[in-house]
Amino acid sequence: MKLYAPVQRQLSAYCRVITRSEEEALDLVQETLTKAFESFDTLREPSAFQFFLIGIARNCYRKQQRRSKFFGKPTEVKAVNVEVAPDSVEMQHDVQLIRECISRLNAEQREVILLFHILGFSIKEIAVNMNITEAAVKNRLARGREKLRKLLSDNESILTHRISANPIKTLTK
């Protein structure tokens, strides 16, 4: 529990991002902790506990995804990813838009974007954790950022078009 307390929020945020559902994220955290407890003796380095948990969560999620291809997935997808306490209505809208755009990335890009930008891992740490090369991490980051830029600019142009198509009418006597 001493190892888990400092990484609890990051694991929870990671699970919410990859599942895109609050309920599924809670289930994934529970399953991850159960498996981590069962295989705790395989942890070589206590300083790598966060990667240990994220690796277990990733493997559990992938297993669920493989099973859902055969048995279906009856859950509702929500855009709840990372805990944010926005200050204004505009900020809430921006956060929701970013969440939706991140959810439209492919799983590899979404995971690398999350680990690097939201959880703050280095490229080297991500490469080791995901068992891929640093070049692959950089490639996924670059492609994910580019796709996010495109998705966000497309959404901005749609909003601008809606606003300009509906001019505000003033009341006159």
pLDDT in tens, 101-111: 887 888 888 88
pLDDT tens sequence across 74-95? 443 344 444 445 456 667 777 7
pLDDT at 146: 92
Least confident range of 93-97, 111-115, 135-139: 93-97
Amino acid occupying residue 130: M
Q: Is the dihedral of CA 46, 11, 6, 124 positive or negative?
A: positive
In the structure, what pLDDT confidence band is assigned to residue 71 with cuts at 50, 70 and 90? low
Task: Evaluate whether 54 touches 11 at the Cβ level (below 8 Å).
Answer: yes
Task: Evaluate whether 17 touches 114 at the Cβ level (below 8 Å).
Answer: yes
More confident residue, 153 or 160: 153
More confident residue, 142 or 68: 142
Contacts of residue 147, defined as CB under 8 A and 6 or more positions apart, other chains included, come to 104, 105, 109
More confident residue, 43 or 116: 116
Place of tokens 């969440």: 99
Tokens at 13, concatenated: 């945020």
Its pTM stands at 0.54
pLDDT at 72: 54
In the structure, what pLDDT confidence band is assigned to residue 46 with cuts at 50, 70 and 90? confident
Q: Is the dihedral of CA 46, 47, 52, 54 positive or negative?
A: positive
pLDDT higher than 50, residue 161 = no
CA-closest candidate to residue 118, choices 18, 27, 1, 21: 18
